[in-house]
Chains A and B, each alone.
Chain A
Amino acid sequence: MKTIGSLSLTLLLGMTLSASANDSVTEAIDNSKQWAIQTGDYANTRYSELDQINKDNVKDLRVAWTFSTGVLRGHEGSPLVIGDIMYVHTPFPNIVYALDLANDGRILWRYEPKQNPDVIAVMCCDTVYRGLAYADGKVFLHQADTTLVALDAKTGGVKWSVVNGDPTKGETNTATVLPVKDKLIVGISGGEFGVQGHVTAYSIETGEQLWRAYSVGPDDQLLVDPEATTELGKPIGKDSSINTWEGDQWQIGGGTTWGWYAYDPDLNLFYYGTGNPSTWNPAQRPGDNKWSMTIFARDPDTGMAKWVYQMTPHDEWDFDGVNEMILTDQEVDGQQRKLLTHFDRNGIAYTLDRESGELLVAEKYDPAVNWTTGVDMDPASETYGRPTVVAEYSTEQNGEDTNTTGVCPAALGTKDQQPAAFSPKTNLFYVPTNHVCMDYEPFRVSYAAGQPYVGATLSMYPAPGSHGGMGNFIAWDNIKGEIKWSLPEQFSVWSGALATAGDIVFYGTLEGYLKAIDAETGDELYRFKTPSGIIGNVMTYEQGGKQYIGVLSGVGGWAGIGLAAGLTNPTEGLGAVGGYAALSEYTALGGQLTVFELPD
């Protein structure tokens, strides 16, 4: 009886939900034959119900067809599949292709925007773009120059176009957009150029701007209620952001918003993280620098923040908090809870209650992490929720013009944007990680509009005293806060994972391998070397009764900056395994989609 009761309640909820969430998106996502949203679903699980390809037959996987994107630089994100059409995007110049899956991938239409190439110069880390979004018969392209275009999904015709930011001030775009109800939720990049980060809602129908919420600044710009908006259960109070900055530094304070967004239709909240405070020299911005490095839960209708949680107050290492928020419903201490799991750049994996923002678990997901001894989990403590900083690795305490050495992780984090996956069958998270440490020397910089505003010198190298490689692919238990298993990788794993009901997990490597592993054990079941390094995300779809796996290769991004030439390892000396490995010895540029299938 009880089961039936809760079932019908779920059904009822589901019905009211579909009326409030964007019907076309919800419908499209619910059909697991499609890949309707970059993150697989609103909850960011990157899990597919498709199980035709499974752990027993994946060894027979073969290439079905390939497609060259015509662009050479770093290819992040993945294609979308809606019905019989696949939508493929490229990095700058941000070409969109609509491919007819029922007709051997014939190009139905293509759209190539005209952009001022000057924007390339203000993109910090290659010209990456993490992909298109779909809603209401429209495909949404968010260009590098922050022009947001709605294209007719059938014809590629422009329905409307708006501009979200100003590239001459260093505002650019690398992220996808999130369609929620009648709105598109849109972020901004440019944390290394001193921009004031924000998130903005536009009408799906007309492109009209509906609200904008800044990450740093006065309360009316933040869209917070000093009494109703909480952090760890307590109201944030008046002027919560500007009280934590010296003078007007917040105006160029960063807190950009270029990660993957999640949405809970039930709670009507969307979740995202904010990036680093500007500059990278912490001495130039005393205070906690709120709300940089923060998880936000906001109401998509009004933009108002329900709760916040700042993970790295007064960042000293460039640990952007933008990584994805993965929403799951799991049992904690015998109680079913609505959870949010987040693998932060700072090397800590957080599990929170996504309704209240209560902190449940905060544990290191790479044993190499050393800048903190851990997060204060005592609600009665004055420093509740704050990480305890190890003085030796504090670039603030060591001061300007001092080289702080051996900090783990490096600025690119234990994980960057490359999204993890979650399988409800194993209750495990599958996380692509970096295993890189750094020396960091901050120094004074001056701000000039549209110019890099960095203020630190970095050297990065593989985590010392480990396996010599620069990455791991791990399985994580978010309730216990433990690594279940960890696969060493020679290079950072910069590709988004995919988990499926076939009990397998897929990910790509920087050398260019697509790998399939057993979701339970991590045993490798299949690998294939694609033409270039993979920094894209693995996706799956079904067409004509057959399941396919797709992934973009095309090395680049931040990984392509350091790893192309190889990283030196000052602490282990010449001959350390993998310590001097250069990515350029394994792969070269080239954007290509590779689609895999089982033999008939």
Chain B
Amino acid sequence: MPTTTFRALGLVALTTLPLQAQETDPNLVADRQEDGRWVTAEDIPTFKIEEDGTVDWATFSGFRRYHAECHVCHGPDGEGSTYAPALKRSALTMDYYDFLAVVAAGRQKVGASDNSVMPAFGNNPNVMCYVEDIYTYLKARGADVVPRGRPAKRADKPPEIAEQEAACMGG
């Protein structure tokens, strides 16, 4: 009997944790909008999901860019593949600046049982101009506040982001 109780408790905890986390985890809680993107109190990019499920522009943009540049190795929806880790977890466990560094410079784990090579995207505008968005999207996936698949409702693109994008992509 006690086992059943624990299991039931565990299930409740699991399903409610993400929402609580969104409200309390300082690494996730959106504090303010800066240049069109939401950031935490520590200036780290994060998501902002409205009660009706509408996602902020950066989360939506991250969804699009992730599924063009990243999913061919890391699987759909940040879920991982047979040979690359699930980034929805990495986005929660890795420091933001470490995440940026790995995207820009790449990383290699090559050995007897490992042949895993993350390319360096530092000079790829299709990745680097959107890296904050990709990070934001993956964090939302990891916190389980955005379901798998395409976000159903999204905020409009803030004009500041449109300007940055134009400058970054070279017109």
> Are chains A and B native binding partners rather than an unrelated pairing?
yes
Q: What is A's interface to B at a CB cutoff of 8 Å? A: 71-74, 92-93, 117-118, 120-122, 124-127, 192, 280, 403, 439, 441, 443-446, 448, 451-452, 454-460, 555-556, 560-562, 564-568, 570, 583-584, 589
Q: Mark B31-63, 1 if CB is under 8 A from A, else 0.
A: 000000000000000000000000000000001
Give chain B interface residues in 104-137, CB to chain A under 8 Å.
106, 108, 110, 113, 115-121, 123-127
Contact assessment for B169 and A561 in the assembled complex, using a CB-CB cutoff below 8 Å: no
B162 to chain A, nearest CB (A): 12
B25 at the interface (CB under 8 A from A): no
Contact between B75 and A122, CB atoms less than 8 A apart: no
User: B82 contacts the other chain (Cβ, under 8 Å)?
Assistant: yes
Distance from A407 Cβ to chain B, minimum over Cβ atoms (Å): 14
State whether B76 touches A446 (Cβ < 8 A).
Answer: no
Q: Is B67 an interface residue when CB atoms closer than 8 A count as contact?
A: yes
Report B-chain residues with C-beta under 8 Å of the C-beta of A74.
82-83
Would you call A117 and B115 a contact (CB within 8 A)? yes
Max chain A Cβ within 10 angstroms of own Cβ: one of B68, B69, B80, B118: B68
Minimum C-beta distance from A469 to chain B (A) = 18
A-B contact pairs, 30 of them (CB 8 A): A73-B115, A74-B82, A120-B115, A120-B116, A121-B120, A126-B82, A127-B83, A280-B68, A444-B169, A445-B126, A448-B124, A451-B126, A452-B68, A452-B69, A455-B68, A457-B67, A457-B68, A458-B71, A459-B150, A561-B71, A561-B73, A561-B82, A564-B80, A564-B81, A564-B82, A565-B75, A565-B80, A568-B148, A570-B150, A589-B82
Contact A562–B76 (Cβ < 8 Å): yes
A72-B113, A122-B119 as given contacts; A452 in contact with B126, CB under 8 Å: yes
Out of A117, A444, A446, A564, which one reaches B108, CB within 8 Å?
A117
CB-contact partner of B77 in A439, A441, A568, A584, under 8 A: A568
**Which residues of chain A are within 8 angstroms of B126 by Cβ–Cβ distance?**
445-446, 448, 451-452, 454-455
Tell me, rounded to whole Å, the shortest Cβ–Cβ distance linking B153 to chain A. Answer: 13
User: Which of A452, A458, A555, A589 sits near B67, CB closer than 8 Å?
Assistant: A458
A124 to B121, CA, bound (A): 14
Contact of A446 among B75, B119, B125 (CB under 8 A): B125
Chain A CB within 8 A of B89 CB: no
Please give me the 4 A-B residue pairs with the lowest Cβ-Cβ distance, nearest first: A565-B79, A121-B119, A560-B82, A120-B117
**Residue of B72, B75, B106, B124 with most partner-chain A CB within 10 A:** B72
**Count of A-B contacts with CB under 8 A?**
120
Please state if A561 and B72 are interface contacts (CB–CB under 8 Å): yes
B residues less than 8 Å from A565 (CB atoms): 75-77, 79-81, 86
Residues of B within 8 Å of A125, CB to CB, are 72
Q: Does B10 contact A (CB under 8 A)?
A: no
B128–chain A nearest beta-carbon distance, Å? 10
Complex CA distance for A121 and B86, rounded to whole angstroms: 17
In the bound complex, CA of A527 to CA of B46 (Å) = 49
12 new A-B contacts, CB < 8 A, other than A118-B119, A556-B82, are A73-B82, A73-B115, A117-B110, A126-B83, A439-B150, A445-B68, A445-B126, A446-B170, A556-B83, A561-B75, A561-B81, A562-B76
| Bound Cα distance A22, B121 (Å) | 45
Residues of B within 8 A of A446 (CB): 125-126, 169-170
Q: How far is the CA of A118 from the CA of B127 in the complex (A)?
A: 18
A residues in contact with B2, CB < 8 Å: none
Closest to A567 in B: B76
Residue in B75, B116, B169 whose CB lies within 8 Å of A564? B75
Cβ B69 vs Cβ A441 within 8 A: no
Chain B residue numbers with a CB within 8 Å of A556 are: 82-83
Knowing A441-B64, A454-B69 touch, does A448 contact B82 (C-beta < 8 A)? Answer: no
CA of A295 to CA of B77, assembled, Å: 35
* CB-defined contacts of B71 to chain A, threshold 8 Å: 458, 561
Give Cα distance in the complex from A459 to B76, angstroms: 7
Chain A: CB-nearest residue to B72: A124
A560 to B150 Cα, complex, angstroms:
21
Q: Which residues of A contact B76 (CB under 8 A)?
A: 459-460, 561-562, 565, 567-568
CB-defined contacts of A459 to chain B, threshold 8 Å: 67, 76, 149-150
Known: A117-B115, A121-B117, A567-B76. A454 touches B81 (CB 8 A): no
